Amino acid sequence: MKSKDYHDYVIKNGKFIGKFEEMYQNVEDPWHHRDATAIPYDLALYLLERYEICTKGGEVFDIGCGKGAFTARLKRKLPKAKILAIDIAPTAIKKAKKKYEKLGINFKVMDIQKEYRNITEKFDLILVSQLMWYILPKFQEIMRYLVKNALKKWLVISRSAFYKPGEQKYGKEIVQTPEDMISLINLKPSEMIEINRLSNHGAVILFKRKQNGKN
């Protein structure tokens, strides 16, 4: 199958397809966010700057990095940080390495749904960009595990789309609003910036884990 519409590879007609590797092989810019210049990416970087997150270094985990364009922006924003960036698609990681590995980013193929319990590192910052719908059956389980076992301080969830009533066919029994997603994570957000609330609704949300290890 060849298509320029990422829905044909990911979620279509209320069903999850999940052919990410095939998508990256066939589509140059599947998410239509060339060089990660879309507003949600800008807002995520704005929050990092506003709260001075990892500006002096630290361990960063970027989950769902795709071809690495946003990870590269992140590294330039946080040059002293050590970044591990993962994606399920080998083709995406291959392209990310070819273009951005020289920046000192550790790109790695990983299926977060299958391997999240193997993560032993502790991260000062975990970023989850446009990933929720693609791991939805295990989203709550994965996020709560990471918050408890891999997160030192900051979590940023960027650009998870929320649809108007009647539009959402996949996963609506689990998540319909940003508040639904927050309840699954079980962390109190420090700040939430909503985007296009009346159309193509999205949100960039910043969470802070308490220093005593409690949520």
Q: Check pLDDT > 90 for residue 2.
A: no
Residues 6+ apart with CB under 8 A from 47: 53, 156, 191, 193, 204, 206
Partners of 156 in beta bridges: 127, 206
Tokens of 9: 């590879």
Domain ranges of the chain: 34-208
Please report the pLDDT score of residue 121 as a whole number: 95
How high is the mean pLDDT of the chain?
90
Distance CA 30, CA 24 (A): 7
CATH T-level fold of 34-208: Rossmann fold (3.40.50)
Within its chain, how far is the Cα of 48 from the centroid? 15
Least confident segment among 10-24, 92-106, 189-203: 189-203
Distance CA 14, CA 160 (A): 17
Q: Check pLDDT > 60 for residue 212.
A: no
Q: What is the CA radius of gyration of the chain?
A: 16
Question: Which range has the top average pLDDT, 112-121, 158-167, 189-198?
Answer: 112-121
This prediction's pTM = 0.92
* pLDDT, mean of residues 29-38: 76
95: helix, strand or coil: helix
At 213, the pLDDT band (50, 70, 90 cuts) reads very low
Please report the pLDDT score of residue 34 as a whole number: 67
pLDDT tens, position by position, 48-70: 999 999 999 999 999 999 999 99
pLDDT tens, position by position, 133-165: 899 999 999 999 999 999 999 999 986 677 766
Within its chain, how far is the Cα of 214 from the centroid? 23
Tokens of 23: 């998508």
Tokens of 72: 């590269």
pLDDT tens, position by position, 71-118: 999 999 999 999 999 999 999 999 999 999 999 999 999 999 999 999
Please report the pLDDT score of residue 102 as a whole number: 97
Question: 3-class secondary structure for 131-162?
Answer: CHHHCHHHHHHHHHHHHHHCEEEEEEEECCCE
| Nearest C-alpha neighbor of 65 from the set 25, 18, 33, 43 | 33
